[in-house]
Amino acid sequence: MLEINQLHKEYGRITAVNELSLRVPRGSVFGLLGPNGSGKTTTLGMVLGVIRPTRGSFRWFGELPTPQQRKRVGAILEKPNFYPGFSARKNLELVAMIKEKGRDRIDAVLRQVGLYERQHDPFRTYSLGMKQRLAIGSALLADPEVLILDEPTNGLDPAGIADIRELIRDIAAMGKTIILASHLLDEVQKVCTDFAVLQQGHLIHTGPVAGQEQEVVFELDAPDQEGLLEVLPLVPGYLSHQQEDAYVSLTVASGTLPEQINAFLAERSLFLSHLSVHHRTLEQQFMEILSQHA
Ligand SMILES: Nc1ncnc2c1ncn2[C@@H]1O[C@H](COP(=O)(O)OP(=O)(O)O)[C@@H](O)[C@H]1O
Ligand SMILES: [Mg+2]
């Protein structure tokens, strides 16, 4: 859907985006994850044609950028700009007029973003979450193939966040590709199928979100800890282990069952006093990825 090749942006002495190469698969919900200042917004600005790259290139739909292609991409980069005194419907009518597209889709869009009931109330009376949903609706008016969202849940309360996440999943289910920049790991984990991690403008990781869970971590302990540590490397699926304060943490290939580990150890007269399963969260992996690049 989007292919970025060695895209680079310098602001004077600051390198905002550093030789970034990336592929966004069609139909994915792609998370661009990284702390503030890591270059997410600059990257989105470049692929949207509003920030001029210092060098490098990108292709939408396999082609170099043209104004026609740009129309196939919907985006919300900045705080939504709507007329406070106008209703949601009136604001969308204006957007449709300016874009010369989407007038016939206003009802459908209002329903999709959950504003149909409130469509005649003035924009200024909306909650932050409703305003954000209207912004997404406005980007959907022209029925784009790709939707780009920059920190879509910033400043929202938990209910507003849940609404936006549900809406994102909804839009993805319609077959659209979504690119979402966020500094929130949790957000990326909950809605994205694929992700990339940016750190100071560098790409430090990219891959599927689900495929990340290739390992399982067990916490275990036995009265005979010494004996336990000795045979651990022989356990089925063994990848690594680490001595923690109160237990041993054992990393094995996913699919390894606790009963396999238990049986294996019991056969060697090692009886466990503690065994629990921990799936590695994206957060733990993220911390590991970051520490490898510190
Ligand atoms: N217009 C600009 N002029 C100078 N520096 C900028 C400008 N825009 C962004 N930067 C710098 O580029 C880096 C990346 O910023 P940004 O892309 O906004 O990161 P993110 O969206 O991940 O928070 C930061 O160090 C930021 O200060
Ligand atoms: Mg940003």
* Sign (positive or negative) of CA dihedral 52, 58, 64, 68: negative
pLDDT at 293: 64
Closest CA to 285 of 218, 175, 174, 211: 211
Asked whether 175 and 143 are in contact (CB, 8 A), the reply is: no
* Sign (positive or negative) of CA dihedral 173, 176, 179, 182: negative
Amino acid at site 82? F
Amino acid at site 231? V
CA of 237 to the centre of ligand 1 (A): 44
pLDDT at 212: 54
Evaluate: CB of 39 within 6 angstroms of ligand 1.
Answer: yes
Cα–chain center distance at 135: 19
Per-residue DSSP letter, 103? G
CA of 16 to the centre of ligand 1 (A): 6
Helices (H) and strands (E) in the chain, counts: 10, 13
Evaluate: CB of 31 within 6 angstroms of ligand 1.
Answer: no
Asked whether 128 and 80 are in contact (CB, 8 A), the reply is: no
Encode pLDDT of 6-17 as tens digits: 999 999 999 999
Beta bridge partners of 10: 15
Encode pLDDT of 28-71 as tens digits: 999 999 989 999 999 999 999 999 999 999 999 998 888 888 88
- Cα gap 63→72, rounded to integer Å: 13
Task: Report residues of the chain scoring pLDDT below 70.
Answer: 78, 80, 211-214, 279-285, 288, 290-294
pLDDT at 277: 82
- Cα gap 150→170, rounded to integer Å: 18
Evaluate: CB of 53 within 6 angstroms of ligand 1.
Answer: no
Beta bridge partners of 206: 196
Asked whether 273 and 221 are in contact (CB, 8 A), the reply is: yes
Evaluate: CB of 9 within 6 angstroms of ligand 1.
Answer: no
pTM to 2 decimals? 0.76
Largest CA distance in the chain: 77
- Cα gap 250→246, rounded to integer Å: 13
pLDDT at 294: 59
Q: What domains are there in the chain, each with its CATH number?
A: 2-208 (3.40.50.300), 213-292 (3.30.70)
Asked whether 111 and 171 are in contact (CB, 8 A), the reply is: no
pLDDT at 151: 93
Backbone angles phi and psi of 285, in degrees to 5? -65, -40
CA of 42 to the centre of ligand 1 (A): 6
pLDDT at 189: 84
Evaluate: CB of 42 within 6 angstroms of ligand 1.
Answer: yes
pLDDT at 282: 66
pLDDT at 280: 64
